[in-house]
Structure 1
């Protein structure tokens, strides 16, 4: 895997209750700025890199570690909610971004983008987004989330991952190369997200802060975003792998509710930027090029 290049600029926010780490990668001749939202919740931006920096060939890309994860961790035990994350995103945009707002969300980041758009449409946060790119969006309701959890659990105990786990235990890596053992253990923990579990080698390792993940999902209650999404009038693209443990039906309902363009990728699980990067980035660039005229000054 290629190393992650250093950002063009980085720092911490000064307008959020907790300073949030941010970084930016600048394109040589940018066609605007994309705000890239990582998944989790409770994870951090590193695992989107270096692959998602393909977007920085033609666009400046702004990323930040969401509150409670990565370099934005906190010892404050106050529960972090989806409202917290939406308000943080509004503050990040106001502090660090000028011009039209294109949100590119991955997994939970796609749901955060949708929640933000819903709140902006209701006038509760600003600025409103001008475009949405939703990659492998998290389940739209509690039922689809339960289906995802069951599917992922079954994959993690299925024959492919079980064989990989047995191979690791027999390898002797724990004693001979602890770092390699740690890397392989991480890979096994997320292998069920992939259509081909062997592709997990290409994913940058990450950690999720469990209490943050739990508090955010709990704050959503018995959620279902479909009705709220139907009220939005915003150009959007939804990309989802057909072998994603998150049900394809959820992504299809997302696209239908938004009236969005869509791409359903064969031989692809939850991580298209690793599993099907050529098709993913071609679709995203095409969408951004065709919708550029809809942006304001």
Structure 2
């Protein structure tokens, strides 16, 4: 890693800035060393910081790290099968996903589950020397191959071993985030999706994809064959887990119609609305008065009378009720 990467890297546990200690450097490249933040300590090995802790590797994440480490040398020789199964072009599918990032030549991109860099190269084709691509993966073995692929590109590149549930990056740093086939191994998808929104600035894009047989194909022979081969095809899509910052979110199924793609623009906090807008019509009021101004129920006879009185006064139900309650309450309070 370059020493100036410390401007972006953060402790994935505390969010603090990291300090380099006991470093072996070749020029500005840190080959080995230790990154410190209060009580946290992370090593730099083979010029990559390792932010992954053993205790974070539970469930399928533990399997994924060991599995991909074991196939890192041959992964690129066989990954085309995923696309051949559906008679689709690997390059065209990957390019279609990357297009959703809305990149420009200076974009700062984070790629999670970067693997051997098959998508990394295509992302870097969109960037010039002012652009940046940061890679994260559970497997240092896979990343070693990615680093070889991307070394020839002019954009700034960095790679780290880490967990998507605890991203080691500063808030709001990236313009875009990309993850193709990785979310199924995240130990806590809700936390990981929240982390994705945290590190992308408002207005930036998040794009992720994973295998999933959609509901309308679950009972088909096609869907059953896929689920029989890999139970992950039966996993639910994570729309319900998206963070509140997700804006203009969309989902589609590609690659044999059994891989979902979610993309959204990052916003700030919850959406806001003009909920004090006075609504036309007999009922009247606003979204806020209807939500915050609910009263106890009344008898059917009283309700009919108040509706009749409002019509007679040519007032909306809200106007009549609000003015009447205020008038009566103020009168009663003045008598105390």
**TM-score range normalised by the length of the shorter chain:** 0.3 to 0.5
Q: TM-score, normalised by structure 1?
A: 0.35
Q: TM-score, normalised by structure 2?
A: 0.32
Q: Which has the higher contact order (CA 8 A, sep 6+)?
A: 1
Greater gyration radius: 2
By percentage of residues, which structure has more strand?
A: 2
